[in-house]
Amino acid sequence: MNTTQQRPLVLISNDDGYHANGLRYLADFLRDEADVLICAPDGGRSGFSRAFSAVTPLTLRRRKNMDDLGEHVEVWSCSGTPVDCVKIALDQLTPDRRPDLILGGINHGDNSTVNNHYSGTMGVAVEGCLKYIPSIAFSTCYYDPKADLEPLRPYVRAIVRKVLKEGLPKGTCLNVNFPARQEFEGIKACRMTWGSWINEIDKRHHQRGYDYYWMVGNYRNDEPEAEDTDQWALSHGFVAITPTKIDVTAYDYMASLETQIASLDL
């Protein structure tokens, strides 16, 4: 890869696969001002969250599919999960130059509300954050893999520039979601919406005599009136940015827990 220390190094992965349209858009948005290294799964890995391959060996393959984007974009695919891609890229592809930023996406389908916990795109950002590298996940509410994502360009570039310049707090990454529209009302900092997936199992009977199951489901917003959430922002045409923390400690419960521990009948 032709690189220069004057340009930041950005590592990109996703959960839709190295060939995904959203990933190509993201690389194109940034290639004029950053060295872009892509290491993404060799196929779809939606819903893999923070999973990594503990018992299966991985393969890493150089790809040529984005040579039209220029010398500052290098593409690799990995047979593992999104998290595997980040781990192997940091160990094998950037041993002498630490990325300045790690990006997940652009995902086809939003990762707002509780989807944050299931998302392989967020898995990329969380893994980068665990490595103390500023990290952002980008997703769009367009599920069409051929959707026109060009309107995202100025927003992605502005957010990336800001994070490259100012960094992020230790243990915090950004979850950025775009509504499915060509013009946006603006950007809002939001909290994650409380929501639930319901009717998640579709049971069917095979003609050979056994039952099988599809994981499906319908999303339900459990606080539809709240106006400070990512779901409200998206439904009203805003780009939603939710800061996400690695430390999952419930600090507001600590004092109560200490009291309960002291009163245990042991």
Cα–Cα distance for residue pair 115/13, rounded to 1 Å? 18
Partners of 197 in the β-ladder: 219
The mean per-residue pLDDT over the stretch 13-30 comes to 93
Q: Indicate if the pLDDT at residue 234 is higher than 90.
A: yes
Residue that is written with structure tokens 């990512």 in the block:
230
Cα–Cα distance for residue pair 188/186, rounded to 1 Å? 7
The mean per-residue pLDDT over the stretch 159-163 comes to 97
Q: Taking the CB of residue 175, how many other CB atoms lie within 10 A of it?
A: 27
The mean per-residue pLDDT over the stretch 146-162 comes to 96
Write out the two tokens for 54.
């503990």
Residue type, 174: L
Share of the chain above pLDDT 90, in %: 79
pLDDT tens, position by position, 73-98: 899 999 989 999 999 999 999 988 99
What 3-state DSSP class applies to 169? coil
Strand ranges for the chain from DSSP E: 9-13, 35-41, 60-63, 73-78, 101-108, 135-140, 172-178, 186-189, 195-198, 201-205, 211-215, 218-221, 238-245
The mean per-residue pLDDT over the stretch 140-166 comes to 96
The mean per-residue pLDDT over the stretch 2-29 comes to 88
The mean per-residue pLDDT over the stretch 33-43 comes to 92
Q: Indicate if the pLDDT at residue 71 is higher than 90.
A: no
Q: Indicate if the pLDDT at residue 4 is higher than 60.
A: no
Share of the chain above pLDDT 70, in %: 96
Lowest-pLDDT range, 38-52, 117-131, 250-264?
A: 38-52
Write out the two tokens for 50.
């923070």
What 3-state DSSP class applies to 92? helix
State the helix-helix crossing angle for 21-30 and 153-166, rounded to 10 degrees.
Answer: 60
> pLDDT averaged over the chain?
92
pLDDT number for residue 131: 96
**Cβ within 8 Å of residue 68, ≥6 positions away:** none
pLDDT number for residue 66: 65
Q: Indicate if the pLDDT at residue 258 is higher than 70.
A: yes
pLDDT number for residue 183: 94
Q: Indicate if the pLDDT at residue 108 is higher than 60.
A: yes
Establish whether the linkage from the previous residue to 201 is cis, with ω within 30° of 0: no
Q: Indicate if the pLDDT at residue 116 is higher than 80.
A: yes
Residue 147 — very low, low, confident or very high, per pLDDT cuts 50/70/90? very high
Q: Name the H helices within the chain.
A: 21-30, 82-88, 115-118, 120-130, 153-166, 230-235, 251-262
Backbone angles phi, psi at 106, to 5 degrees: -75, 125
Residue 123 sits at the vertex; the CA angle it makes with 14 and 62, to the nearest 5 degrees, is 35
pTM: 0.91
